[in-house]
């Protein structure tokens, strides 16, 4: 009988830590298990890929802390038929996790180099339902349409109306809201018949959302 391949201890700890910190959605945990985070970090950081910390990536940006990725994903309450918008592709890791839990992901990144690298990685991992666009999350292409879920992974001082207008009825938006160089609050908006319901979740620290396509690279 072939012996089942045992996951390396750091990957087992990774899953255990997510559960210990309160992630209980089995589909989210499975997605976190299925996507190799080591494929999204800088080669020099591979040995830290399964630590529960954010890590630096190209263009002075970061790949988010795994717990925060899992937590935001859980809060989105994704279903298989959902169309999801991500602002801030970065490494592509969050987009890969989303891709396992919904029908389509459109992810926008303002650095060409990050968008190109993420697109390549996602293709290698067969995350074929993710479309990475070079663009500005503050100026979403008119033809991008409406979304069931929106996840912003860069800090916004306020959530622009242009973004909430893209949210379908019953839709959920999660974004870190607050000052650019400090602590932000993760905010969850739900579009209800009565309007937008707003709830503050936890404190987080994200790199800032900046307007326009980046000039370098």
Question: Closest CB to ligand SAH among 62 and 129?
Answer: 62
Q: Which residue in the list 64, 91, 99, 107 is annotated as catalytic?
A: 64
| Secondary structure E strands in the chain | 55-56, 62-63, 83-87, 104-109, 130-134, 147-152, 167-177, 184-192, 195-204
Q: Is 50 in the site for ligand SAH (CB under 6 A)?
A: no
The whole-angstrom separation of Cα 153 and Cα 193 is 26
Question: Closest CB to ligand SAH among 190 and 213?
Answer: 213
Number of chain residues interacting with ligand SAH (CB under 6 A): 24
Beta bridge mates, 214: none
Provide the residue count of the chain: 217
Question: Closest CB to ligand SAH among 15 and 64?
Answer: 64
Helix (H) or strand (E) holding 94: helix 93-99
Q: What one-character-per-residue DSSP string does 19-39 give?
A: HHTT---HHHHHHHHHS-GGG
Q: Which of 32, 106, 114, 174 binds ligand SAH (CB under 6 A)?
A: 114
Q: Which of 63, 85, 186, 187 binds ligand SAH (CB under 6 A)?
A: 63
Question: Mind telling me the catalytic residues?
Answer: 64
Interaction site with ligand SAH (CB under 6 A)? 61-64, 87-88, 90-91, 93-94, 108-111, 114, 136-138, 153-154, 207, 209-211
């Amino acid at each position: 009988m072939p012996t089942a391949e045992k996951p390396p201890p750091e990957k087992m700890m990774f899953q255990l830590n997510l559960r210990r910190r309160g992630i209980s959605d089995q589909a989210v945990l499975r997605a976190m298990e299925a996507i190799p985070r080591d494929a999204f970090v800088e080669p020099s950081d591979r040995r830290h890929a399964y630590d529960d910390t954010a890590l630096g990536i190209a263009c002075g940006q970061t790949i988010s802390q795994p717990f925060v990725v899992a937590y935001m994903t859980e809060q989105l309450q994704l279903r298989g038929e959902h169309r999801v918008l991500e602002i801030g592709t970065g490494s592509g890791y969050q987009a890969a996790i989303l891709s396992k839990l919904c029908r389509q992901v459109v992810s926008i990144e303002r650095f060409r180099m990050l968008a190109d690298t993420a697109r390549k990685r996602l293709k290698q991992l067969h995350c074929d339902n993710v479309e990475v666009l070079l663009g500005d999350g503050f100026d979403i292409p008119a033809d991008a349409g409406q979304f069931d879920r929106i996840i912003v992974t860069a800090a916004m001082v306020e959530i622009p109306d242009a973004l909430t207008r893209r949210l379908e009825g019953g839709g959920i938006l999660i974004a870190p809201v607050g000052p650019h160089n400090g602590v932000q609050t993760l905010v969850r908006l739900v579009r209800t018949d009565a309007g937008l319901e707003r709830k503050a979740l936890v404190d987080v620290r994200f790199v800032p959302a900046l307007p326009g396509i980046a000039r370098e690279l």
